[in-house]
Amino acid sequence: MAASSKQLDAGSRAHYEDPAYYDQTYKTRTADVEYYVATALERGGAVLEYGAGTGRMTLPLARAGVRVTAVDHSAPMLTQLRARLREEPADVQARVSIRRGDMRRVRVAAKFDLVFCAFNTALHLYSRTDVERFFARVRGHLKPHGRFFADITPPNPVDLARDPERAYYAGRFKHAGAQRVVKNHEYFHYDSISQVLSVSMLFTPDGKPEDAWVTPLTHRQFFPQEWLALLHYNGFTVTNVEGGFAQESFTPESDTMLVHARMRRDFR
């Protein structure tokens, strides 16, 4: 059964309502940060970041001297970003502008040399209309010779074929947000019509099964040629495709699809 609009909305928000857990989960993910900082410095000028979250990339960019406008739809994540930003030197604070808003609609009164949408943020664009609205906003925010970068996880056939009735064990750890040791089990459901993969993360505190809770996460699955076609028909020329943040080739084994694009001059 396809996810309802209410389920899609919950799956696009719930994972980002606990900044402490989010930071704990992705604290060792640094290769993409280094890549985008190096790219921004090479490009020069100002940067627009979609899906800024708690500042995992925003703050390193600003520390490196880059002026960055950070956009995110999650109030809890941006609250954490603002708190972290207040601890930075005045010159770093001055380089960051924070905007809360939906990436399909938010408008910034500036043009940028680099616009990027990192770490699967684009997978929360569930419909063709969502994609078209988002790409229209990207075009509206790019300078004529600016560049758009986005990285997504391409569909993994193993995940798409998982038994939706089976709980897949994903580990035991101290949950930073809940401040409790929990076991994590995940349920996967893939709807091949909408191309949405729904993952329900079941967290069960040790010795307290009655206190278990579920965090949903919904990701649109964009197949590689589909994603490239969507870019083309929404006004972009793809200039490079990489399979990760060490500039490796994109292959069937890659767990990242990193696309560089520029606006097409002939697009109307």
What is the per-residue DSSP string for 13-45?
Answer: HGGGS-HHHHHHHHTT--HHHHHHHHHHHHH-S
- % of the chain surpassing 90 pLDDT: 96
- Rg (alpha carbons) of the chain, rounded to whole number: 19
Residue 235 — φ and ψ, nearest 5°?
A: 95, 20
Could you give the CA distance from residue 136 to residue 173 in angstroms, rounded to a whole number? 41
Two tokens at 54? 């708690």
- For helices 128-141 and 224-233, angle between their N-to-C axes, nearest 10 degrees: 50
Please return the burial class of 138, using the count of CB atoms within 10 Å of its CB with bins 0-12, 13-18 and 19+.
buried
Which is more confidently placed, 29 or 4? Answer: 29
* Per-residue pLDDT tens over the stretch 99-131: 999 999 999 999 999 999 999 999 999 999 999
Residue 135 has pLDDT above 70, yes or no: yes
Indicate the pTM of the whole model. 0.95
Please return the burial class of 67, using the count of CB atoms within 10 Å of its CB with bins 0-12, 13-18 and 19+.
middle
**Burial call 3-39: b when 16+ CB within 10 Å, e when fewer:** beeeebebbbbbbbebbebbbeeeeeeeebbebbbeb
Could you give the CA distance from residue 94 to residue 113 in angstroms, rounded to a whole number? 18
In the structure, what pLDDT confidence band is assigned to residue 2 with cuts at 50, 70 and 90?
confident
Which is more confidently placed, 245 or 207? Answer: 245
* Per-residue pLDDT tens over the stretch 220-237: 999 999 999 999 999 999
Could you give the CA distance from residue 47 to residue 35 in angstroms, rounded to a whole number? 14
**Half-sphere exposure at residue 145, Cβ-oriented, CA atoms within 13 angstroms:** 3
Q: Where are the domains of the chain?
A: 15-154+221-263, 157-220
Q: What is the mean pLDDT of residues 198-214?
A: 95
**The CATH classification of domain 15-154+221-263, taken from the options 3.40.1160.10, 1.10.10.10, 3.40.50.150, 3.40.50.300:** 3.40.50.150
Two tokens at 63? 């520390």
* Per-residue pLDDT tens over the stretch 42-92: 999 999 999 999 999 999 999 999 999 999 999 999 999 999 999 999 999
Residue 242 has pLDDT above 70, yes or no: yes
In this predicted structure, what is the pLDDT of residue 182? 97
Could you give the CA distance from residue 265 to residue 204 in angstroms, rounded to a whole number? 53
Residue 1 has pLDDT above 70, yes or no: no
